[in-house]
Structure 1
Amino acid sequence: MNKKITRIAITGPMGRMGKILIKEIQKNKNAILACAIVKKNHPLINHDIGEMIGIGKIGVYIEDALNIEKNNFDVLIDFTKPSSTLSFIKQCYDFRKNIIIGTTGFLDEEISIINSYSKKIALILSSNFSIGINLIHELVQKTTKILGNDSDIDIIEFHHRDKVDIPSGTALTIGEKIAKVMNWKLNQHTLYYKKGITKKIRETKKIGFSSIRSGNIIGKHTIIFSNKDEEIQINHSAFNRKSFAKGAIEAAIWIHKKNTGLFNMNDILKDKFKNI
């Protein structure tokens, strides 16, 4: 096996992201799909995952557990739910396997658990793996430095009707970036809009969050800085999930070379574009 090739395991291969991840791995010359993991007693166990998602036989059969002792993968990519992700991280920790985490909705104490695992393995935790969104982070931070003290700040996010967490992990990450620049604690400086009589004057030093769940919207985020004289909007729209999948695969290839640590997509972009 070429040591430069990253062997990737995927959880939830029959889900929206799972299918796209597998298709994009098949196109990537620096990665191969090593295994596809589903829930216990799933009816498709032992079927070829390629046939199941419509790309033909690829010789990778669906399994219901990470067989880490076989040492048949280098990096796990997980876009499931917090409880499942924490179980997979524990297994990776026990057997020294690195992991890419695209799951959102973790509690603060769960983030602390994830951070503790980074002493022995390398992890990338990101609410959004698209290059565009991570460039938005940079733009938002620079804008906040200039306009943050004199503006009302709002984050509006749009997602498909089946997304369960509100606000989105991406919106919260953007909020955290703003709060860090402003030297705020995010949970003390948020404003969630709801039905009722609002205060006559909007509270200052607050980041307003609005969420839309409708149809099959992949993901749209708008950050607004408004003051008495002008308004700036920073927008990002995802037209499909390929950008997330490609970013996650690049993250897996990047972290394959790491031993320990907790990283995010900004670390990868800084490394990739350090000469720009």
Structure 2
Amino acid sequence: MNIIITGAPGRMGRTLVTLVHEHSRLTLAGATDRPDSSLLGTDIGALCGLGELNVPLVDDLEQCDPAADVVIDFTTPAASMDHLEYCRQQGIGLVIGTTGFSPEEKDLIAQAAREIPIVFAPNYSVGVTVLLSLVKQTAALLGDDYDVEIVEMHHRHKVDAPSGTALRLGEAAAEGLGRNLYDVAVYGREGAEGPREQQTIGFATLRGGDVVGDHTVVYATEGERIELTHKASNRNTFAKGALRAAQWLVDQPAGLYDMQDVLGLKNG
């Protein structure tokens, strides 16, 4: 199976390159970076400390192996839109781990999924995928008597807030409660806002250091509190999940999927 990795010199990109290189059934078919990168032309294997892989870093998917089966994309929304169009034109699958998309960009992804298979998830951790199911089930069991708050923390370099994973956790809780997240979400609080409105789902965002990703969903009521927490200690868990998604995707028809599809949890 031939895989192209976009944003290959980044934190996630390097992890993916290493795991593909170590995998007996996967081949690196290309590695890209942004057009203004000073690393263009460098062998991605040498850049990742793996030795020469004969895969130079390029700025365009058109310069990668046309026999690629899947593109794995952890970049920026603007770059992901370009990668989406390339995959649509070539008829190959796309695994998207980029976050921070606008509603219009999400619509374009959904439209492309009518022609090609796409796995689109804010978090590729198997643990977070299971957590999403637990969050929805717990919200449904507890009902409106419990307030729902979501706290997330990431490294200082993360550019979007709240994280895509936090938003997806909020959606899962809202689904369990029969609410629309975007009608009830509160993104931070400041000043004399008055008492908390019962139907709201609150988000608190923390940034600092080298935190890979911590997420906690809090259910609070009079006299007790339940917390569901996931903490990632390194990026391997996300990269392994993305590779699992890529291998699953090649056998799927056109459609928009997420990690719950990959793990078979949708009807669980």
**Aligned match of 2:199 in 168, 186, 205?**
205
Say whether residues 1:262 and 2:241 are aligned partners: no
Query: Contact 1:8–1:33 at 8 Å: present in 2 too?
Result: yes
CA drift at 1:69: 8.5
Cα separation, partners in 2 of 1:44 and 1:188, compared to 1, 3 Å: same
Query: Contact 1:30–1:253 at 8 Å: present in 2 too?
Result: no
Say whether residues 1:34 and 2:16 are aligned partners: no
Query: Contact 1:148–1:225 at 8 Å: present in 2 too?
Result: no
Query: Contact 2:4–2:64 at 8 Å: present in 1 too?
Result: no
CA drift at 1:244: 0.4
User: What SS does structure 2 have at the residue aligned with 1:67?
Assistant: helix
Which residue identity is paired with 1:248? A
| Contiguous gaps of at least 5 residues in structure 1 | 1-5
Say whether residues 1:218 and 2:212 are aligned partners: yes
**Alpha-carbon displacement from aligned partner over 1:222-252 (angstroms, at most 9, x marks no partner):** 1110111311100100000000000001111
Say whether residues 1:52 and 2:37 are aligned partners: no
CA distance in 1, matches of 2:160, 2:152: 12
CA drift at 1:45: 2.5
**Aligned match of 2:125 in 130, 135, 140?**
130
CA drift at 1:47: 2.2
**Aligned match of 1:92 in 84, 87, 94?**
87
**Alpha-carbon displacement from aligned partner over 1:58-87 (angstroms, at most 9, x marks no partner):** 221212211278523110000011111011
Which residue identity is paired with 2:16? L
CA distance in 2, matches of 1:51, 1:119: 38
Q: What is the match of residue 229 of structure 2?
A: 235
Q: What is the match of residue 3 of structure 1?
A: none
Matches within 5 A, 1:103-114: 103-114=98-109
TM-score normalised by the chain length of structure 1: 0.93
TM-score normalised by the chain length of structure 2: 0.95
CA drift at 1:263: 0.3
Q: What is the match of residue 12 of structure 2?
A: 17
**Aligned match of 1:121 in 97, 112, 116?**
116
Say whether residues 1:183 and 2:178 are aligned partners: yes
CA distance in 2, matches of 1:69, 1:82: 21
Query: Contact 2:125–2:237 at 8 Å: present in 1 too?
Result: yes
| Contiguous gaps of at least 5 residues in structure 2 | none
Query: Contact 2:136–2:173 at 8 Å: present in 1 too?
Result: yes
Aligned residues: 268
CA distance in 1, matches of 2:64, 2:92: 11
CA distance in 2, matches of 1:152, 1:194: 15
CA distance in 2, matches of 1:69, 1:195: 49
CA drift at 1:179: 1.2
